[in-house]
Amino acid sequence: MRTTLAAVGTAAALALGGLAVAAANPLAVAGAQDPAPATDEAPPPARPDRQGPLERALDGLVADGTITQEQADAVRDATRAEAEAGREERRDRWQARLDEHLGPVADLLGTTPEAVREALRQGTSLADQAEAAGVERQALADLLAQQITDRIDQAEADGTIDADMAAKAREHVDDAVDRLLDAAPGQGGGWRGRGPGFGFRPGD
């Protein structure tokens, strides 16, 4: 039973994709669980006792005269710039994916994906957003259920999950929808800390 629930949770999370991320932790969408976005301030100098391999290698090359300090700094700057470009690219991909999933929800609520995401970040669940917009909970539930079911079907067709896992995931669509509707991640509720399995953890 525990293994079944864990598999169902994983399959449902996989099927839901970016929308689950939005409800579970909308702040993660910006960086897709990457380190916090860089600010305009220059990163602090590396502490000698916490230097990574690159820092140690550059310091060694400077020490033995292979390169100058200016050259070492240029390598550090280029490495940081490349890392930031990668983070921005991942943020853009997650943003596009999130908007794809939140788009239909936002349309139903008469708002935008950005507004839905910001409300989640502030701790307003999808159910509360629907109520404020004068949209019946069941209408939003039906939309979410269809989104989840479509993604389960697609995951099965792609071979990402097998038929047995897909069938079990479909059995728990209603439960997954309820969790999505009532999650208020900005206030520490919902799935914060539960991971991607809709509360089903391996061994449960």
Residue-wise pLDDT tens digits, 12-39: 454 455 555 444 433 333 333 343 333 3
What pLDDT, on a 0 to 100 scale, did the predictor assign at position 134? 97
More confident residue, 167 or 198: 167
Residue 130's pLDDT is what?
97
Q: Quick one: which H or E segment has residue 104? A: helix 69-109
Q: What is the mean pLDDT of residues 179-183?
A: 91
In contact, 47 and 184? CB cutoff 8 Å: no
Q: Which of 42, 34, 24 is nearest to 89 (CA)?
A: 34
Burial class (CB in 10 A: 0-12, 13-18, 19+), 150: exposed
Residue from 24, 60, 49 nearest 197 by CA: 24
What whole-number distance in Å separates Cα of residue 198 and Cα of residue 179? 7
Lowest mean pLDDT: which of 125-129, 141-145, 180-184, 200-204? 200-204
SS3 of 6, please? Answer: helix
H helix or E strand, kind and range, residue 114: helix 113-121
Q: Where are the domains of the chain?
A: 2-32+97-187
pLDDT confidence of residue 47: 45
Question: In the prediction, which pLDDT does 166 show?
Answer: 92
Q: Quick one: what percent of the chain has pLDDT higher than 70?
A: 65
The residue type of 133 is A
Q: Would you say residue 111 has pLDDT above 90?
A: yes
Name which of 21-35, 78-92, 96-110 the model is least confident about.
21-35
